[in-house]
Amino acid sequence: MRIGVLAVQGAFAEHINKLRQLDTESFEIRQQNDIRKNFDGLILPGGESTAMSKLLTELKLLEPLKSMIQGGMPVFGTCAGMILLAKEISGCDSPCFGTLDITAKRNAYGRQLGSFRCTDRFAEKIIEMPFIRAPYAERVGENVTILASHENRIVAVRQDNQLATSFHPELTDDITIYKYFFEMIENRN
């Protein structure tokens, strides 16, 4: 299994370190040549979603990656990655990929000072959830499965080949969500 990690901005190094700990091959996606490599899954890290969206467009990565996602490439978006995947973003006219049928609320838990850690249930297991200027899903489409909520806010979802979390599992020792993503890749049709 080989995972491409979007590395134009944000917390991509943390995902690569976690994948290394899990003995999973990964590489950084920074330019068009990188997406010509063979890979089985894609991670969209946390960071600043507006900057990431602009860089994806400028580097001409947006449309090819969107086509891959629409074609069934398993993708896992954390925090800003959830926003990049969202079909709608509250108070914003133009989504980035727009492939995940949710409405994301940006900075839903406040600014950096509003960051926190908690534990809650993800797909029947209690895990640690670090939230950093996190979004959540205000609305989910009928084909979207809610995998986790915290204080009645949707913080993890799946739609077909797309997995998204509001929080940062790469900043914990827990590997539950990575294992879930790996199973998505292994079970890909």
Beta bridge partners of residue 5, listed in sequence order? 28, 43
Assess contact for 100 and 76: CB atoms under 8 A: no
Instruction: Indicate if 168 belongs to the active site.
Output: yes
DSSP symbol at 42: E
16 touches 4 (CB < 8 A): no
170 assigned to active site: yes
Annotated catalytic residue: which of 15, 96, 150, 168? 168
Query: Would residue 79 show up in a list of annotated catalytic residues for this protein?
Result: yes
**Rounded CA gap, 186 and 189, in Å?**
9
Rg, the chain, Cα only: 15
Residue from 175, 158, 129, 166 nearest 18 by CA: 175
Q: How far apart are CA 76 and CA 95, in angstroms?
A: 17
Q: How far apart are CA 59 and CA 85, in angstroms?
A: 18
Composition of the chain by helix, strand, coil, percent to 5: 30, 35, 35
Check 79, 88, 96, 150 and give the catalytic one. Answer: 79
Active site residues: 79, 168, 170
